[in-house]
Amino acid sequence: MDFGGDRTVRIWHRSTAVKTSEVESLYIEKFGQKPACSARAPGRVELLGNHTDYNQGFVMALAVDKCITQAASPRADGVVELVSAEFRQTAKFSIDSIAKDPAVPWSDYAKGLLIELGKRGVRMGGYNAAIHSTIPLGAGLSSSAALLVSTALVVRDLYPYSLTETGVGLPPSRKPDGSLPELSIAEKMILSKICQAAENKFVGVNCGLLDYISSLYGRANKVVLIDCLNLTVDWVPFPEGLSVVVCHSGVKHALVAGEYNERRRCCEEAAHALGVHSLRFVSPSDLESGRRKLTDLQYRRAAHVVGENNRVQLGAQALRSNDLELFGRFLFESHKSSQENFENSCPELDLLVELAKSDPACIGARLTGGGFGGATLNLVKRGHAEAFRQRMASGYEKAFGRKLESWECEVVDGAA
């Protein structure tokens, strides 16, 4: 299958921050020919709604211009070979016998996804892929979701499939230029669940749907509002006068290490003790009246999630009415709740939020993503991002003797 170079270039140019040359050069260097297709999937910033997704709650996110790009071609021998610009080891395995390889842990994501697609009835052969990432690892911008989603898209381009709630439908037909129609809105949700199953079952992190949904449904300059009970998505404009600045503490977050899974378990136990299916069904007043049914730990974990659900709903109203001061306040409250109730912050993240709070250019800041390290999200008045980053870097270095990595991110379209 060779769809020609033009098409490849067109797809790559859809995004502002796509590394055309890097991923293509890597592919050519490794496999000695041009790739047949390519796909890109953005990382995400969790704007508000921390650890609400697996509690069937509400969350707001942005797809950002840090992304993973893959270039790929089919193979006739049923072998999958993956090379990454970031990791030295190559992953090579047969599509018919997929197993973990501790020497190439990053390939677990692709493997888990191929297994889940296979279970759904997607028929695939082998392929070669080169993977390039601009998503900083461990910064909580969800490089794993971008890897899963971009894998699903290159595989779809090589072995077209359409997804239904129960399995697969007729494969989509190519357009005259050789490209496939985009995934439908419904297929994006099904694919999000497939990615989640891959990460839960094969990688072993019991994460929710936030990361995949953000990467797939993101829109340029829009906030993605996700309802994780009804599995619906809506968009509100991202405020024009603001910039997104991500400050990376440099503390590696360790989702796989079990803290994340432990938090999830505790939330589920709290919901069970309160007699509901999930914390989504608990209002702030329900939580107070049911407090005696919970241990102190369960109460605090639940208070975080219930508070976050409330803040997301009020935050959506604040965004719609352009009350940015109020919205920013919700971000600071969210971080405080992470510190005190959910205990998924750390001294470095706390300091970053303190610095941001006392900075005149910043209207709101909080840890973003799973926590336990990683990054903070800062909403900064447009035009002030550069100076803000410098002030943050000097404050951080003074306190921790460490250089601060930070980025001003654009809000971009979802995966394609």
- Phi and psi (nearest 5°) for 278? -155, 170
Active-site residue 101, yes or no?
Answer: no
Please give the torsion angle defined by the CA atoms of residues 313, 342, 213 and 130, in that order, rounded to the nearest 10 degrees: 150
Q: Determine the length of the chain.
A: 416
Binding ligand GLA (rule: CB under 6 A), the pick from 18, 37, 53, 82 is: 53
Check if the beta carbon of residue 67 is closer than 8 Å to that of residue 18: yes
Task: Spell out, one character per residue from 232 to 261, where the chain touches ligand GLA: x when CB under 6 A holds, - when not.
Answer: ------------------------------
- Catalytic option among 65, 108, 211, 359: 211
CB of 176 vs ligand GLA, minimal distance in Å: 39
Within 351-370, which residues bind ligand GLA (CB under 6 A)?
A: 369-370
What is the C-alpha to C-alpha distance for residues 358 and 356, in angstroms, rounded to an integer?
A: 5
10 Å CB burial of residue 334 (0-12, 13-18, 19+) is buried
CB of 100 vs ligand GLA, minimal distance in Å: 20
Stretch that binds ligand GLA, among 48-56, 101-109, 185-193, 354-362 (CB under 6 A): 48-56
CB of 21 vs ligand GLA, minimal distance in Å: 30
Binding ligand GLA (rule: CB under 6 A), the pick from 7, 19, 40, 51 is: 51
What is the C-alpha to C-alpha distance for residues 397 and 377, in angstroms, rounded to an integer?
A: 18
Report the residue number, 36 or 216, with the smaller CB distance to ligand GLA.
216
Q: Is 210 in the site for ligand GLA (CB under 6 A)?
A: yes
Q: Is 391 in the site for ligand GLA (CB under 6 A)?
A: no
Binding ligand GLA (rule: CB under 6 A), the pick from 157, 187, 211, 359 is: 211
Check if the beta carbon of residue 330 is closer than 8 Å to that of residue 315: yes
Identify the three-state secondary structure at position 110: helix
Report the residue number, 112 or 126, with the smaller CB distance to ligand GLA.
112
10 Å CB burial of residue 230 (0-12, 13-18, 19+) is exposed
CB of 45 vs ligand GLA, minimal distance in Å: 10
Under rule CB under 6 A, how many of the chain's residues touch ligand GLA? Answer: 12
Check if the beta carbon of residue 304 is closer than 8 Å to that of residue 48: no
CB of 260 vs ligand GLA, minimal distance in Å: 7
CB of 354 vs ligand GLA, minimal distance in Å: 21
CB of 145 vs ligand GLA, minimal distance in Å: 7
CB of 50 vs ligand GLA, minimal distance in Å: 5
Report the residue number, 73 or 334, with the smaller CB distance to ligand GLA.
334
10 Å CB burial of residue 160 (0-12, 13-18, 19+) is middle
10 Å CB burial of residue 345 (0-12, 13-18, 19+) is buried
Binding ligand GLA (rule: CB under 6 A), the pick from 8, 50, 151, 339 is: 50
390: its two tokens? 């410098």
What is the C-alpha to C-alpha distance for residues 145 and 133, in angstroms, rounded to an integer?
A: 12
Distance of CA 276 to the CA centre of its chain: 28
Binding ligand GLA (rule: CB under 6 A), the pick from 46, 157, 333, 348 is: 46
Identify the three-state secondary structure at position 395: helix
Stretch that binds ligand GLA, among 173-181, 205-213, 221-229, 296-304 (CB under 6 A): 205-213
Residue nearest to ligand GLA (CB): 207
Report the residue number, 37 or 377, with the smaller CB distance to ligand GLA.
377
Report the residue number, 46 or 348, with the smaller CB distance to ligand GLA.
46
Measured on CA atoms in the order 192, 193, 196, 201, is the torsion positive or negative?
negative
Q: Is 207 in the site for ligand GLA (CB under 6 A)?
A: yes
Closest by CA to 49, choosing from 318, 331, 312, 364, is: 312
325: its two tokens? 């001061």
Q: Is 112 in the site for ligand GLA (CB under 6 A)?
A: no
Cβ count within 10 A of residue 169: 12
| Interacting residues with ligand GLA (CB under 6 A) | 46, 50-51, 53-54, 142, 207-208, 210-211, 369-370
Q: Annotated catalytic sites, by residue?
A: 211
